[in-house]
Amino acid sequence: MTSKPTRALVLSGLALWISIGSMASPDAAATDAQSATSTSADKPSTDTSWNQGLKLGVNGSIPVIVVDQFGYQAKGTKVAVIRNPQAGYDKSASFKPGRELQVVERDSGKVVKSGSPTPWNNGATDAVSGDQVWWFDFSDVETPGTYAIVDTESQLRSVEFDIDDHVYRRVMKHAVRMFFYQRAGMEKTAETAGASWADRASHLGPGQDPYSHAWLAKEDASQVKDLRGGWYDAGDYNKYTSWAARNIISLLRAYDENPSAFGDDYKIPESGNGIPDILDEAKWGLDWLTRMQNADGSLLCVQSLAEASPPSAATGPSYYGPPTTSATLMGAAVFAYASKVLSARPEPALKAYAEDLAKRAKAAWAWATANPQVVYYNNDDGRQPGSQGLASGQQEMDDAHRQAARFEAAVYLFEITGDEEYGKFAEANFTSIVPQWGPSQWDVVGQEALLHYARLPNASAPVKSAIIGQFVSTMMQKGDQLPMVLDKKDPYRSPMKDFTWGSNLSKATQARLYELLGSFAPDPKVAALAKSAATEYLHYIHGVNPLGLVYLTNMKAAGAENSAVTMYHAWFSNSSRRWSRVSGINPGPAPGYLVGGPNPSYAVDPCCFAPSGSPNYKCYMAASFSLCRRGFSPPLDQPAGKSYLQFNDSWPANSWAVTEPSTGYQAAYILALSRYLN
């Protein structure tokens, strides 16, 4: 830990922040990120003195006043959280605010609001964060500008932030561009990716994606398929049909609900073609899924790719798994929904594409109906002998999720065809999609499908009424939904029932539930409350959390001074000095990746504790065994909200359980954020 500087030094830091204004230039990595989008996309942070006077911890400077580092819309709720750590790795950085906090405008140094902070829960310590907390509401500050919250007694302050109705546009561009960086088989040029992340097209060599072999017939040349394209699913490079379909549905839904949120200037290769770039990105994923579809309508379940850093260095073969019912149902769902969205576009090529997708959706439905129980468990010899090594994540569904996929496909097919076969299936099965005690953060996908059906003009009126009534009443009455907000259960203003692996995904999906409640609640006051509650989950991801950390990587170019500097990813790996971590000389990972988030269930690999004489003693005598002795506290031995460490060590440290990104996390975040772009 560093010692606390003198008050004079803190005051000089505050004066420096005010005097710099917007004149400072971004560093090299930020310049790359800015040029990778457009000259109007970014407003790089130059707030290098925000941490003056703060103690240091294993995750960086320990903030005492946390805000959304990108900012707030003019009419939105704006609450700074002041924190006094009581438990966890940062508990030595104790802080109690003075009687006056100020909102200070950066360029002029003008104090635009002052007031006293309000203690949360009468000064109690929150078990989830381990913090004592105060709130400072400055919602009445609506004038556009750049500001900070300053404690007048200590002169410690927050990171700077903007008030601007368009504050999230630059954030969205980077969030969508994450999918571009994840593209397999696509060259990342200096112009499109930024010089720091340029790379040749990957996985196009002999035996790779255009020449993928069947996992179940590796030597059979007659089964070689061209399966190029698609996205690396997460920190690994594998591609999963069902998950890609889900991501595309989320991207298309974000566009469908708010087309004005998205532009054609994200500096991906298709930018400038007159089509919003989010649709171009969705089409990249759809093109791969069409290659995964067989002539009989079925869809292959998974494609396994080799890894290297950068991706173009990977030379190993690509393999694909067999067709399954779950993959085919998700193919039917995404093809049908994409057909609906793209058919509304004016471009003849997209209309023709939409017609083809409709045919593919019907063919997939027919195959899945005729083959309702075809399953394949990849990478799991226990349940599927011979599958070990085919990709990594388990993509196969259980019966309940397969039924939900069938329902979703039926809803979208009913929408584009009006065929009663699909409508009757939806009517007969809608009660089985979300549990009667739901929805929760785990049921958002099913709830989306139910409410989509309830919007259809030709849907059954009694079923519509039942779906909407059940959703609204449960959200308003269930203890772990709106009552948590009303009862102010979370000092960081984004309560949720379960804090687990992928907690940032849960924050995004919980935001989405409140957005849906805001759309369907008949009481305008409840609708307004729900919409306001939803924004708090985005503020959490943007820095209103116990770490004061933006859980998106490398976002200085978009205005966030304190964002994630590393993550678990095969490209931006621990072995890469250039890409492993953001530093003054190295660019680190590409901007805009949403990391997994705090995970109280994190553990190092069990081999770290294997007894002498057992086969896995000292992790099979691996050189990596030294990682076992590092302690990893955090993320271990922390309150749930602080179970996070900025690290990217692989096995047996297993950092993927904390910092790995996912296209699934990303798509859910984009969908939640899209409601707030004007």
Q: pLDDT tens digits, residue range 38-64?
A: 434 699 999 999 999 999 999 999 999
Confidence class of residue 674 from pLDDT cuts 50, 70 and 90? very high
Q: Does position 559 have pLDDT exceeding 70, yes or no? A: yes
Kindly provide the b/e burial profile for residues 449-474, where b requires at least 16 CB atoms within 10 angstroms of the residue's own CB.
Answer: bbbbbbebeebbeebbeebbebbbeb
Confidence class of residue 405 from pLDDT cuts 50, 70 and 90? very high
| Mean local confidence (pLDDT), 323-341 | 98
What domains are defined for the chain?
7-167 (2.60.40.10)
pLDDT value at residue 488: 97
- Which residue, among 422, 394, 424, has the nearest Cα to 327 in the 3D structure? 394
Confidence class of residue 437 from pLDDT cuts 50, 70 and 90? confident
pLDDT value at residue 4: 43
Q: Does position 289 have pLDDT exceeding 60, yes or no? A: yes
pLDDT value at residue 111: 98
678 bridge partner residues: none
Residue percentage of the chain with pLDDT more than 70: 94
Query: In 437-481, which residue ranges form alpha helices assigned H by DSSP?
Result: 444-455, 461-477
Q: Tell me: the pLDDT tens digits for 475-520?
A: 999 999 999 999 999 999 999 999 999 999 999 999 999 999 999 9
| Mean local confidence (pLDDT), 586-606 | 98
pLDDT value at residue 659: 98
pLDDT value at residue 6: 52
CA distance 339 to 333: 10
pLDDT value at residue 12: 58
How many angstroms separate the most distant Cα atoms in the chain? 76
Q: Tell me: the pLDDT tens digits for 100-133?
A: 999 999 999 999 999 999 999 999 999 999 999 9
Say if residue 572 is exposed, middle or buried (CB neighbours under 10 Å; 0-12, 13-18, 19+). Answer: buried
**HEC-encoded secondary structure of 397-415:** CCHHHHHHHHHHHHHHHHH
Say if residue 624 is exposed, middle or buried (CB neighbours under 10 Å; 0-12, 13-18, 19+). Answer: middle
Lowest mean pLDDT among 10-14, 486-490, 583-587: 10-14
Residue whose tokens read 């063919």: 363
Neighbour count for residue 647 (Cβ, 10 Å):
22
Give the distance, in angstroms, between the CA of residue 255 and the centroid of all CA atoms in the same chain: 17
Q: Does position 28 have pLDDT exceeding 70, yes or no? A: no
pTM of the complete model: 0.95
Q: Average model confidence (pLDDT) for the chain?
A: 94
Q: Tell me: the pLDDT tens digits for 221-247?
A: 999 999 999 999 999 999 999 999 999
Q: Does position 16 have pLDDT exceeding 70, yes or no? A: no
CA distance 678 to 348: 28
| Mean local confidence (pLDDT), 174-186 | 98
Query: Tokens in use for 221?
Result: 């040349």
Confidence class of residue 302 from pLDDT cuts 50, 70 and 90? very high
pLDDT value at residue 11: 56
CA distance 590 to 311: 13
Q: Does position 2 have pLDDT exceeding 90, yes or no? A: no
pLDDT value at residue 20: 55
Query: Tokens in use for 104?
Result: 């200070």
pLDDT value at residue 17: 66
CB-based contact 324:375 (threshold 8 Å): yes
Confidence class of residue 678 from pLDDT cuts 50, 70 and 90? confident
CB-based contact 600:506 (threshold 8 Å): no
Q: Which residues contact 206 (CB under 8 A, 6 or more apart)?
A: none
Q: Does position 32 have pLDDT exceeding 80, yes or no? A: no
